Structure 1
């Protein structure tokens, strides 16, 4: 095993054990490290200690020449910075050459969200007399009612739902668990689906399992399955909007803040580690508050 392979193996072990990173995250990190050192070898270098600021700048230039997005470049840079930070900690290299390399911060786009009248249409189109209609209703009520990610939604098991307390246990990024409350609409939709529709869908499957949301064949619903269902619901509701599962999450956060929820509470409900991740929703609510002010304050307009 050469120097790079040994260092990479230790780094992957660190990600899995100390950082509790998901298998997908580990795959991305390994791929980015491999791609970088393939470039390093083409430049005539081989050792971990050969990497310096100038070589990194040449590498970043090569990424932009390949027309990679700023987000992709930032992700690769972040990965390599973490890799060398680990190597420095383990005394494999003397210093981290990525420490002084940075990219201009990318302006975060304002998140798209549904207006409440659009959601009303989505909530009213499912045929609740059918198993798939009951599932779709429970799915959209729970996703909007809790703001969970699609990956968290498809990972929910039957035992994670507490219909008595009105809470759901979800596993977020890094397999971190959190309990989220849900309201009466989601509760009613879930009760109907769990007691009726899910049993019908499970009967079409070949293997008994405890996933909450099932597809037409009785298997656990996937991320792509959720996207397909939501797109069909939008199509049926005749809404001229693009749908993605995160739009329900954005809508949850935006509507909560518009109604007066504090930022820290919304951060906890969304499972954000950093408050800055939640603060992006305040840009949307600022416009909302300005409209309220302009329409309500006696001296806002002549």
Structure 2
């Protein structure tokens, strides 16, 4: 089987059998398309370890980040492990492929005061009654108030939110479902949107959708619209750099730990499979503490 056809079949396996998200499968497929470009669209059985090493070496020479190289190594390993199970290759050439170690990149975090001021400005815009402004306020409050991922937010239906308990039922990575709490500001913003904003947006299309958050034309809101919203509102809070919805997730986790939340509780809230993933936020908190110490302590 040609490498490109094997990559397509493997991507389908990821979504249909392993139930990974479409976005994850797309990332794997893009990595493997790059592999096919590098070695040629040959029979997958003819690809050996040297082909894979050459592919990664070229990627490193053009300046790909170590995290990108590590992800591509994982993509190749997944493909050939699957191909071996399917009998497409006589042996797995990726077994001896070394994964480049990722450099630790601390997430960009906004200050609680900065986010508070930004959310107050967004609330003031929502008070005008504009349906999109009402939606934007609810989206930002929920992202920061619960720490959910952008895909989880876009996948929410109206029935997934329990305003009486201030909780939302979300479906995370690996189709794992969890219930997350959110605060009073998010509840108030969602109530206002459901009452005054969502009906106006829903009226813009003839096709009724169960989605909690709707786009300007009445369909379910997409990740791109949320990215644009966060970049426009949160970007200035973190120095004008380009940020996405994860900046609010990072900020929520860091502020919880700064306030004394238990690490395991934060892990459960964020839906991390591994505690090690959550622990990066302890590094953020400790570095913020060290910076404050250096600025304030007379013996620093």
TM category, shorter: 0.7 to 0.9
* Aligned twin of 1:64: 60
What's the offset of the Cα at 1:281?
A: 0.8
1:246 aligned to 2:246?
yes
* Aligned twin of 1:139: 139
If you compute each CA radius of gyration, which structure gives the higher value, 1 or 2? 1
Cα distance in 2 between the residues matched to 1:158 and 1:48? 46
What's the offset of the Cα at 1:293?
A: 7.3
* Aligned twin of 2:283: 283
SS at the partner of 1:124? helix
Cα distance in 2 between the residues matched to 1:63 and 1:89? 28
1:166 aligned to 2:166?
yes
SS at the partner of 2:180? strand
Contact preservation (8 Å) 1:161, 1:169: yes
SS at the partner of 2:207? coil
1:171-221 C-alpha deviation (Å, 9 max, x unpaired): 222332211111212111111211122112222334321211123333322
What's the offset of the Cα at 1:267?
A: 1.3
Identify which of 71, 75, 88 aligns with 2:71.
75
* Aligned twin of 2:272: 272
Cα distance in 1 between the residues matched to 2:295 and 2:31? 52
SS at the partner of 2:273? coil
Contact preservation (8 Å) 1:258, 1:288: no
* Aligned twin of 2:82: 86
1:54 aligned to 2:54?
no
Cα distance in 1 between the residues matched to 2:246 and 2:38? 35
1:186 aligned to 2:186?
yes
Measured at CA, do residues 285 and 94 of structure 1 come closer, stay the same or move farther in structure 2, by a change above 3 Å?
Answer: same
Gaps of 5+ in 1: none
1:14 aligned to 2:13?
yes
Measured at CA, do residues 196 and 57 of structure 1 come closer, stay the same or move farther in structure 2, by a change above 3 Å?
Answer: same
1:57-97 C-alpha deviation (Å, 9 max, x unpaired): 22222333444333333222211111112233445434322
* Aligned twin of 2:104: 108
1:176 aligned to 2:171?
no
What's the offset of the Cα at 1:121?
A: 0.7
Gaps of 5+ in 2: none
Cα distance in 1 between the residues matched to 2:25 and 2:184? 39
Moved more, 217-226 or 185-194: 217-226
Contact preservation (8 Å) 1:16, 1:22: yes
Moved more, 105-114 or 288-297: 288-297
Q: How many residues align?
A: 295
Return the TM-score normalized by structure 2: 0.85
Contact preservation (8 Å) 2:152, 2:170: yes
1:26 aligned to 2:20?
no
* Aligned twin of 1:230: 230
Return the TM-score normalized by structure 1: 0.84
Contact preservation (8 Å) 1:147, 1:249: yes
What's the offset of the Cα at 1:250?
A: 0.5
Cα distance in 2 between the residues matched to 1:143 and 1:216? 19
